[in-house]
Amino acid sequence: MRRFSAFGVVARLFCCALALSILAGFGPSSHSSARAQDAQNANEAASLEKLTLVTDAKGAHPVDHVLQVEVMRDDAGRERGLMYRRYMPADRGMLFDFGTEHGVLMWMKNTYIPLDMIFFSRAGVVTHIAENAEPLSEAIISSEGPVYGVLEVNAGYARKIGLKNGDIVRHPMFAR
C-alpha cells in the first residue's frame, strides 16, 4: 500500500480540479472574464432606454420602429461607444447625445460590429445616414453638417426599415 502525505493528497486534488475546470472552460481567467462580461451585459440592460424611429414620417402611413438604446451623455462614454464589443442584438442601438448641435466626425477604430450611423438634428429629424461603416477602420465618417446626436445600429438596419433623411427620431432627449 502506498502512503501519501496530506500535502501530496491536497496538491494532487487541487491539480485535478484545476485541470478539469480548464478543460471544461471554467478556469480562473475564463470564469472571471465571463463574470465581467455578465456584469457589463447587466449594466447595459439596466441602462437601456426606448427610442423610436418613424419612417415615412411626413407621408400617409408613418411606421414606428422601436429600439432599446444605451445613451452616451458624457465624453468618456461617447469616446468608448461600441468599441471592443463583438455583438449587439438586432433590437438595440447606441445613442450619442452631444447636448448641442455641431459637426461631428466619427470612426470605427476598435469597433468590431459593422454599423449604420444615423445623424439627426436637435428637432429629432434624420439629416444623414452613413450605412455599413467598416469595422476597425480609421476612415473618418462625417455628419455632413451640424447634428445634435448620432444613433448607431447594426449595419443594414436603416435600409431594412426604409429610413431616409427627413424621418423622425423620438426619444426623451428631445423633450429638454
Nearest 5°: the CA angle 99, 101, 104 is 100
Q: Which of 2-6, 75-79, 90-94, 134-138 has the lowest mean pLDDT?
A: 2-6
* Residue 176 grid cell: 429638454
Closest CA to 155 of 173, 172, 135: 135
Locate the domains of the chain by residue range: 6-39, 48-175
List, for residues 28-59, the tens digit of each pLDDT value. 444 444 445 444 544 555 589 999 999 998 88
- Specify the pTM: 0.75
Helix (H), strand (E) at residue 14: helix 6-23
- Considering the segment(s) 48-175 as one domain, its CATH architecture is Sandwich (2.60)
